[in-house]
Amino acid sequence: QARLHTAGRIIARRSYAKYVSSRANTSHNQHCRAPTSKTARALLQNTREHCHSKMGKLDVQVMRHLSKDDYRVLTAVELGMRNHHAVPVPLIISIAGLRHGGAAKFLATLLRFKLVYHDNNKYDGYRLTWFGYDVLALRAFVARGAVDSVGRKIGEGKESDVYEGCRASDDRRVIIKFHRLGKTSFKAVKDKRDYLEGRKTAGNWLNMSRLAAKREWDFMCCLHEDKSIKVPEPLDQNRHAVVMGLAEGLPLYQLGAPGCLADPEKVLESTVTIARQLAARGLVHCDLNEFNLIVEQNTSAVTLIDFPQMISTKHPNAAMYFARDVRGLVKFFTMKLKFDVDEEGLFDFDGACASEAVTRLDTACRASGFDGCAPDKREGRSRPVKAVTEEEEDDNESDDDGVEALRAEFLARA
C-alpha cells in the first residue's frame, strides 16, 4: 500500500507538471511577440485574403516569430554548409558575429521551427533543412518586392514544388517554384544533368537545387527576351527558388479527353513549332510533353514551362532527345485525344536546326554541349574537369577551414 501511495503521488506530480507546461505554451502562443521585421510583416499582410496559413511543409507563419539575429544564424548555417556536412557551433558563432556572442538561444528557436536539423553523430553540428532554405529565399523575395504573400501548392514533381503567390505592388498573381533535387525518385540528377559544369561536386542537394534554379532562370530570361516562344515572364530568382508570371490556361495533360480542346490541330502545330523554333535557336527542351505545356482553351495559345534540363543542338545526343520530344507529343495526341497525326517531316532535326537564320541562344545560356565537346564521364557534361595539383589541394583545404572569407560574404549579403 505504501508503494502504491508513493507511485500515485509521483503520477499526480507528473500530470500536474504536464498541465502547467501546456498552459505556459498556450499562454506564450497567445501572447507571442509581433513580427520583428518588415519582410515578415509584408509577407503576411495578405495572408487572410489570398493565402492558406497551413500548406504542408511550407508554413510561412513561422516567419513572424523570427528576429534579425535568427536570420543571421540561419544564414551562417547556410554558408557553413558549403564545406561541412553539419556546421559546428563554434563556426556558426564565428560566421554570424552576433553582438552578444553565443547562438544557443537562436539555434533553439530555429530547431523548434524545423528550420535546421541537429546532427550530433560525429560532432555537435547543425544542418539547414529544405524549410529553412525556403524561408531564406522568401525573405529575399519580400525584401525585393517580388512576393508579398504565399498561397496554396498548385504542383509537385520529382524535381520541384510549385506555389502560387501575390505581389502587392500591382496586385499580381505570381508563381513560386522551389527546386528540390535529391528526392528518392530522382537521385541520378548528378549523372543526367550538366548542373555541375565541370565541378567535382555540388557539396549538397541544396546547392545542387540552387544551380538548377539558376539554370532555369537563365533559359527563361533568354527565351523571354527572344519573344519567339511564349514563356512565363521571369520576375526574380534567389537560391533554389524562381518567381515567374502566371501562365493563363491549363496543363495539356488536364485537357486529354476528346472534346476538351477546341482546335487540337492548332495546338499540335503550335507544340511542334515550339520544338522546331528551339532547335533553330540551338536548344532542345529534352522534356517537351503534356506536363510542361500550358494551353489557353479559348485561343489555343501554348506556353512552354520547365527549362533547366535543356541542352544545345551541338550536344552529341541532341537529335535523339529532339525525336523523343516530338514522339511523346505525337503519342499524346494519338492515344489521348484520338487525333490522326501526319508524321511527315516532324522528326527532321537537321531541317529544324537550319530552318531560320536567328541568334543562337545555347551559347548565351551556356547550355550543355554548347561547345560541341563530347561528354566526359557524365552524359550531360560539356567541359572536362581540370586536374588539381597537390599545391592547389593544400590551398583549397586551407581556404575551406578559413572563416574570414565566409564571414566577409555573410556581411556583404546582409
Number of alpha helices (DSSP H) and beta strands (DSSP E) in the chain = 15, 13
**Sign of the dihedral through C-alpha 138, 141, 142, 148:** negative
Q: How far apart are CA 153 and CA 163, in angstroms?
A: 4
Q: How far apart are CA 337 and CA 198, in angstroms?
A: 43
Q: Which of helix, strand or coil describes residue 313?
A: coil
- Closest by CA position to 58, among listed 116, 138, 140, 119: 138
| Residue of 70, 287, 306, 325 marked catalytic | 287
Please, what is the Cα angle at 114 between 111 and 116, to 5 degrees?
A: 60
Alpha helical stretches, state H, 284-403: 318-335, 349-353, 362-365, 390-401
**Axis-axis angle for helices 318-335, 264-280 (nearest 10):** 180
Phi, psi values for residue 290, rounded to 5°: -70, -15
* Type of residue numbered 353: C
325 catalytic residue (yes or no): no
Burial of 196 (0-12, 13-18, 19+ CB in 10 A): middle
**Sign of the dihedral through C-alpha 372, 376, 381, 384:** negative
Catalytically annotated residues: 287
